[in-house]
Chains A and B, each alone.
Chain A
Amino acid sequence: GAVVSQHPSRVICKSGTSVKIECRSLDFQATTMFWYRQFPKKSLMLMATSNEGSKATYEQGVEKDKFLINHASLTLSTLTVTSAHPEDSSFYICSARGEAGYNSPLHFGNGTRLTVT
């Protein structure tokens, strides 16, 4: 089945620094990837849709200058949290849809636990 790899799984950074999270589709091409954020005891909140070769589409309330998304190839999307602050600490998860069509289930990476000190 479709495999999505996310790296790193855990990162601790100091306030003011930037952190890059990578999301790769290992055995399929993903023209679209999705970035989610999960707060404790909350649902998965869609942050943005990453489109290969074009600009990402951000959900309302998500700062595009703070959460930079790059989707330079059909198998790689990156999320960079710029000038991180403690309130950015969260669990970030990427996902991609398999090649079976628009209604095929999303395949998720294992997530990245970001802690900003």
Chain B
Amino acid sequence: DQQVKQNSPSLSVQEGRISILNCDYTNSMFDYFLWYKKYPAEGPTFLISISSIKDKNEDGRFTVFLNKSAKHLSLHIVPSQPGDSAVYFCAASETGGSYIPTFGRGTSLIVHP
């Protein structure tokens, strides 16, 4: 039973446009959410996070939106650049629980020049 779901295995976007990566979760106890970026043959690197007390967090070209009622979050990248091409993992954890994040299966983003 997947508690964190990334239903789109891949996404293709043109350079300069917006990339929107989606993530859904089922565990209502999750209250901290993270996005990681992973290049082939490398470990994931932390990108951006959001706490459940917020509905938006922005860092440069990256913005994460959280809709708690829908148990849905999304990562927006604008403008998209070819160097953004990577696999993006959504992760969620429970403060007061194990704090260990549960990961989705990832979405492979390809940004075309």
Nearest Cβ on chain A to B2's Cβ, whole angstroms: 8
Contacts of B2 in A (CB 8 A): 43
Nearest Cβ on chain B to A9's Cβ, whole angstroms: 7
Q: Once bound together, how far apart are the Cα atoms of A111 and B42, in whole Å? A: 6
Instruction: Tell whether A51 is near chain B: CB-to-CB under 8 Å.
Output: no
A selection of 27 A-B contacts at a CB cut-off of 8 Å is: A4-B43, A6-B43, A34-B100, A41-B9, A42-B105, A43-B89, A43-B103, A43-B105, A43-B106, A44-B89, A46-B102, A49-B100, A93-B43, A93-B44, A97-B99, A102-B95, A103-B32, A103-B93, A105-B36, A105-B46, A105-B49, A106-B46, A106-B101, A108-B44, A108-B45, A109-B43, A111-B41
B105 touches A111 (CB 8 A): no
Contacts of B64 in A (CB 8 A): none
Q: Once bound together, how far apart are the Cα atoms of A93 and B43, in whole Å? A: 7
Contacts of B42 in A (CB 8 A): 110-111
Closest to A107 in B: B46
Q: Once bound together, how far apart are the Cα atoms of A6 and B41, in whole Å? A: 12
**How many B residues, CB 8 Å from partner?**
24
Nearest Cβ on chain B to A27's Cβ, whole angstroms: 16
Q: Once bound together, how far apart are the Cα atoms of A34 and B89, in whole Å? A: 17
Q: Once bound together, how far apart are the Cα atoms of A103 and B93, in whole Å? A: 8
Contacts of A6 in B (CB 8 A): 43
Closest to A59 in B: B100
Q: Which one, B9, B43, B95, B105, contacts A95 given CB within 8 A?
A: B43
Contacts of A93 in B (CB 8 A): 43-44
- The 0/1 profile, CB within 8 Å of B marked 1, for residues 16-46 of chain A is 0000000000000000001000000111101
Q: Once bound together, how far apart are the Cα atoms of A103 and B101, in whole Å? A: 9
Within 8 A of B (CB), among A71-117: 93, 95, 97, 102-103, 105-111, 113
